[in-house]
Amino acid sequence: MAVKRINPSAMMSKAVETLTIWHEARSALRGVERNEKQAKVNALAAMQSLSTKTVVFESMGTQVRATLVEASSIVVDEAKLKKAVGAAVWNKCLTPMFDRAKLEQLIAGGIISPVVVASCSTEVPKQAYIKLTEKVMQDEDTEGAQVVPDQVRAKGGKR
């Protein structure tokens, strides 16, 4: 059985090629998203100036209905409400929630054993992703790509 040798420079070249394609696609998408956001702002202003809330029009061979939705929500001034109804009634509005900072204080104070917490805990792996850091390149920076461990890495977490 022959041993297959891997050419590190070919692997680097392929990685740089695929990263370049991804970066160019992401940059193009950002431009489109910027244009879409500005078009949305302009369309919202135009719809708000109309006396109607719905406009039907044709675009790219499709009938489109645009409806202006002006939503609102109620924000409760909790401090004011607590003062108005009293502490006993106010406490009936509350729900106990887990507080990691309080747990850590109880562990530090020796009230809860870290062994107990560990037995009740599970590490959940997160999805790996690639973080790109962009920099405008000068002429002397364009000669070749190199891996810099602190800048190119797989990192856990969802985006």
CA distance 71 to 110: 49
CA distance 157 to 122: 16
Residue 28 domain-assigned (yes or no): yes
Residue 93 burial (C-beta neighbours within 10 Å; 0-12, 13-18, 19+): exposed
Contact predicate 9/17, CB 8 Å: no
CA distance 76 to 67: 29
Residue 41 domain-assigned (yes or no): yes
Q: Spell out the per-residue pLDDT of the chain, length 159, in tens.
A: 666 666 678 888 888 899 999 999 999 999 999 999 999 999 988 988 988 888 888 888 888 889 999 888 888 899 998 999 899 988 888 888 888 999 999 999 999 999 999 999 999 988 877 676 677 776 655 455 554 444 444 444 443
Residue 21 domain-assigned (yes or no): yes
* Structure confidence at residue 157 (pLDDT): 43
Residue 120 domain-assigned (yes or no): no
Hey, which residues does 65 pair with through a beta bridge?
56
Residue 129 domain-assigned (yes or no): no
Half-sphere exposure of 104 (CA within 13 A, CB side): 3
* Structure confidence at residue 3 (pLDDT): 63
Residue 152 domain-assigned (yes or no): no
Contact predicate 128/156, CB 8 Å: yes
Residue 42 domain-assigned (yes or no): yes
Number of independent structural domains in the chain:
1
pTM score? 0.49
Q: Which domain holds residue 42?
A: 8-58+65-97
Residue 3 domain-assigned (yes or no): no
